[in-house]
Amino acid sequence: MRRIFLCLAVLAIGFMPALAHAERVRDLGQFQGVRSNQLTGYGIVVGLPGTGDDNLEYVTQAMKGVSGRMGLQLPPGVQPALKNAAAVIVTADLPAFAKPGQRIDVTVSTMGKAKSLRGGALIMTPLYGADGQIYAMAQGNLAVGGLGVSAADGSKVTVNVPTVGRIADGGSVERSVQTGFESGEIVRYNLASADFLTASRVRDAINRMLPGTASIEDGVTVALRLPMGADRRASLMAAIEMIEVEPAETPAKVIVNSRTGTVVINSAVRLSPAAISHGTLTVRISEDPMVVQPAPFSNGVTALEPNSAIEVTQGSGQVALFEPGASLSEIVDALNLLGVGASDLVAILEALKQAGALKAEMVIL
């Protein structure tokens, strides 16, 4: 238990309020439209050593379609054995400004009964965007980090996940996505988290470098009026991204993960005057039955006599007093003094919230 308290104290040092520091604009958000796009496709992996999908109907239809594209028409009623093939979903991210001919990485995942993709090769698969258009083509040999082995008696050994693989540079971009950043009248910069104070500081910092350029649309978006043309606009956007801004302090939050017992308190949490008393009552009951033997020649029988022992331990009822505006380090020091565990800490924080002493939002995961 003492080690747990020491660990909490070390964590408290890491979360102690630090001096405000400046961050680059590029680390606070991104320009609207300059982002990656998700691509998805349905394909077939072949060349598997008997770890495929085993005659699933949708795999059979897919293989007939693939063979048809190759000029091979299977006779009616013929069902190909597909232990060496597997139906897969292929996913990839199309980076911003990606041009036709550039290569991207793809991830291949099984969608049926295939046990492993190790040793397989993906047949040419089109990758579609959200608009239903083809933006890339994927093909190549899979690199699978997992391994699965099964024996005749049903025993299995699996290492990592053998049903997911990657193909480095396995996708070829066929169509680019137009961002329109060079032609729009206004370029919008979006913060990663909504905060009016941070947005106003970003606006002021940009206007100091480029007077009259930036204005606030809402708590996330800063609108920029930049000259037309990709060359000039890109240079100004690069300069804006390197401006240093001091972001606003994050809102006070207490994050509680009820499944793992993890409690995280950020440095903005403060307490109003409050007192906490915490004590534990432990009741231990032990059974030690005794065997009673009858006297010789008494015609008695051996009996089992119950013997119970009850022990009650009362923990120390120490009281911790919080002064107005107590910081995170003071909160953790006081709770360590009371000797509380993770579950007790959650109960104390909830009680402080109900009493109106905890000035923070509690988030239960």
What are the chain's domains?
2-16+252-364 (no CATH), 37-173 (no CATH), 180-245 (3.30.1370)
Q: What is the largest CA-CA distance in the chain?
A: 115
pTM more than 0.85:
no
pLDDT at 262: 75
Phi, psi of 16 (to 5 degrees): -65, 145
The DSSP bridge pattern shows strands 23-24 and 164-173 to be unpaired
pLDDT at 277: 63
Distance (Å, whole) CA 299 – CA 8: 65
Each residue's pLDDT expressed in tens, for the chain with a length of 365 residues: 444 333 433 334 343 444 457 788 888 888 888 888 999 998 888 888 888 776 556 666 666 666 666 655 666 665 555 678 888 899 999 998 889 999 999 999 988 788 888 888 998 889 999 888 999 999 999 888 866 665 555 556 666 778 888 999 999 999 888 877 777 788 889 998 888 999 999 999 999 998 988 899 988 899 998 888 888 888 888 899 898 998 888 888 888 776 776 777 777 777 777 666 655 544 455 656 777 777 776 777 777 776 656 554 545 555 555 555 556 566 666 666 666 666 667 777 777 777 777 777 777 77
pLDDT at 108: 93
Q: Is the dihedral of CA 17, 18, 23, 27 positive or negative?
A: negative
Tokens of 324: 């107005």
Please give the helix or strand (H or E) that residue 363 lies within, else none. Answer: strand 361-364
